[in-house]
């Protein structure tokens, strides 16, 4: 249950939700398609602990990815020019008070 009861009512933001979903899914697919190319190029491959067991490599990869996601989130929240990415202003959605 939402904190505010009116949050559970329609805000007429279905268009924004669809655009957000499509945009994020397209970026996810693009990122997945880029992985093989990036992995083949990796100039820092010598730094990766290939001798570690797979599970430990997986945990390290998850940790590195999470740090990147956290850094991106921090930058979006702290740099005013990036805030439209987080607020929906990218699509110029107007909210009623």
Domain boundaries, the chain: 5-91
* Residues of the chain above pLDDT 70, percent: 81
pLDDT at 52: 93
Backbone angles phi, psi at 95, to 5 degrees: -110, 140
| Tokens (6 digits) for 56 | 């430990």
- Residue pair 8/1 in contact (Cβ under 8 Å)? The answer is yes
Backbone angles phi, psi at 4, to 5 degrees: -105, 130
- Say whether pLDDT at 46 is over 90: no
Q: Who's near 60: CB < 8 A, 6+ residues apart?
A: 49, 52
Q: Taking the model in full, what pTM does it have?
A: 0.48
């Amino acid at each position: 249950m939402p904190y505010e009861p009116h949050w559970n009512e329609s805000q007429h933001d279905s268009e924004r939700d669809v655009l957000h979903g499509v945009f994020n899914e397209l970026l996810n697919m693009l990122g997945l398609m880029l992985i093989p190319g990036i992995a083949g190029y990796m100039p820092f491959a010598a730094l990766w602990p290939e001798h570690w067991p797979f599970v430990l490599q997986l945990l390290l990869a998850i940790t590195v990815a999470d740090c990147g996601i956290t850094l991106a989130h921090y930058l979006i929240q702290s740099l005013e020019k990036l805030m439209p990415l987080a607020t929906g202003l990218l699509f110029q959605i107007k909210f009623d008070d």
